[in-house]
Amino acid sequence: MRFLDSGESHGPQLTAIIEGIPSGFDISIEKINQALRNRQQGYGRGRRMQIEKDQVKILSGIRFGKTTGAPITLVIENKDFKHWQDIMSVDADDENENKRVSRPRPGHADLNGGIKYNHRDLRNILERSSARETAIRVAVGSLAKQLLTPFGIHMLSHVTNIGGIQSKGFYQLASMPLEQLSSRIDQSEVRCIENEKTEQMKKEIDKAKNDGDTLGGVVEVVVLGLPVGLGSHVHWDRKLDARLAQSMLSIQAFKGVEIGIGFEAANLSGSQVHDEIAWSEEKGFMRVTNRAGGIEGGMTTGEPIIIRGVMKPIPTLYKPLQSIDIDTKDTYEASIERSDACAVPAASIVAEHVVSWEIAHAFFEKFSGDSYQEIKNQYQSYMKQVEGY
């Protein structure tokens, strides 16, 4: 299973081609569109989100609501393209020297990308490094998520920190039923489970916005209903925790990842960190606690996966930061007209969907086949084997 995506932030569209999806899986376009709507929401977004109305178009690989086994093509139109047609034109005659971007923004890919790809117009870098690309990755992840639903695998995401305002994580919320968690998260404008913290986070965002500044934060994703043994210990590149970390860090502006208790493990002794093993007739093998966050030895333990990612404050600021013009080499103060003050709530949706893709990838590596029926047979036979272990 793999996918490639393409598209510029202000170009005509984002496109993904997904290969290796078995046949016979139910896919709901409405579920993909709901995920896209969720990604567009969240307190702290800028004016661009009033222009875009993300909706997926499926151009291949699905007929009558089911996957056919052929490559699946997804497209999301950029409504803003109509304002950028000249600047984003493919036609050489439309090139306009005056519209060139020569001032790299600190914290962005602009300068490194410009030097590496030898562009004198930094728009060639910023258009592709933009977080607009996360829209198509959410669409791909939503499709992947739907492939896992028949096997009882579900995921949820929320925000646990914005600008230093900390809220409860899944460890403290484990006793709350999934539906209740989910509806409380969806009701919060910043996808935070605690009402009081939601208000505090919104105040921090307002403050940052008034100061021409931006805020980052922490998002957390939980995956439930996993079988034991997805991923593997045998090769570095088959370890599920390593793959999840890679995909989380591939989200624009993400700077760190924690699995389970994460960095807190440095402050504790081994006996306080590792999860004791138990067994019961009804449940088989299990862990008494889940500090490992559902992965040991690069493989799922069968306990929920708990993974967090930290997003840096968006580097496109109204407040000027010092930079250098690549043509004149003069110092200037970089400031920008339009940006999000905080996109952490949106990033929680993105994190949930890149995790969904990675879990589906590992799932279909373990249970491989060309059709739903073939995969279901394999899954059931493995679960029987696990039960008898």
Question: For binding to ligand EPS (CB under 6 A), which residues are involved?
Answer: 9, 46, 48, 52, 130-132, 134-135, 252, 316, 338-340
**CA atoms of 277 and 203, how far apart (whole Å):** 44
44/312 Cα distance (integer angstroms): 14
Give least dist CB 324 to ligand EPS, A: 20
Minimum CB separation from ligand EPS for residue 78, in Å?
8
Smaller CB distance to ligand EPS: residue 72 or 109?
109
> Would you say 139 or 156 has its CB closer to ligand EPS?
139
Q: How far is CA 369 from CA 66, 373, 379, in A?
A: 16, 9, 11
Smallest distance, ligand EPS to C-beta of residue 339, A: 6
CB of 338 to ligand EPS, least distance (A): 4
Report the residue number, 161 or 316, with the smaller CB distance to ligand EPS.
Answer: 316
Nearer to ligand EPS, 204 or 340 (CB): 340
CA distances to 182, 184, 351, 360, 381 from 155, in Å:
10, 15, 10, 12, 24
Which residue lies nearer to ligand EPS by CB, 9 or 161? 9
CB of 50 vs ligand EPS, minimal distance in Å:
10
Q: In this structure, are residues 110 and 126 in contact, taking their beta carbons and an 8 Å threshold?
A: yes
| Cβ distance to ligand EPS smaller for residue 7 or 231 | 7
What are the structure tokens assigned to 141, written together?
């992840």
13-19, strands of its sheet edge to edge: 2-6, 13-19, 72-77, 56-60
| Rounded Cα distance, 83 and 345, in Å | 27
Give the C-alpha separation, 219 to 216, whole Å: 10
CB of 220 to ligand EPS, least distance (A): 20
Chain centroid, CA 319 distance in Å: 27
The structure tokens listed for 325 are: 């013009």
Nearest approach, Cβ of 379 to ligand EPS (angstroms)? 35
Q: Toward ligand EPS, which CB reaches closer, 48 or 191?
A: 48
User: To the nearest whole angstrom, how small is the minimum distance from the Cβ of residue 254 to ligand EPS?
Assistant: 12
Least distance to ligand EPS, CB of residue 252, Å: 6
Closer by beta carbon to ligand EPS, 38 or else 301:
38
| Amino acid letter for position 249 | L
CA-atom Rg of the chain in angstroms: 22
With respect to ligand EPS, which residue has the nearer C-beta, 62 or 131?
Answer: 131
Closest separation in Å from C-beta 76 to ligand EPS: 9
Query: From the CB of 154, what's the least distance to ligand EPS, in Å?
Result: 25
* Cβ nearer to ligand EPS, comparing 141 with 293: 141
Q: How many residues does the chain have?
A: 389
Contact 216, 311 (CB under 8 A): yes
Q: Is the CB of 191 or the CB of 361 nearer to ligand EPS?
A: 191
At 273, list the tokens: 């960190």
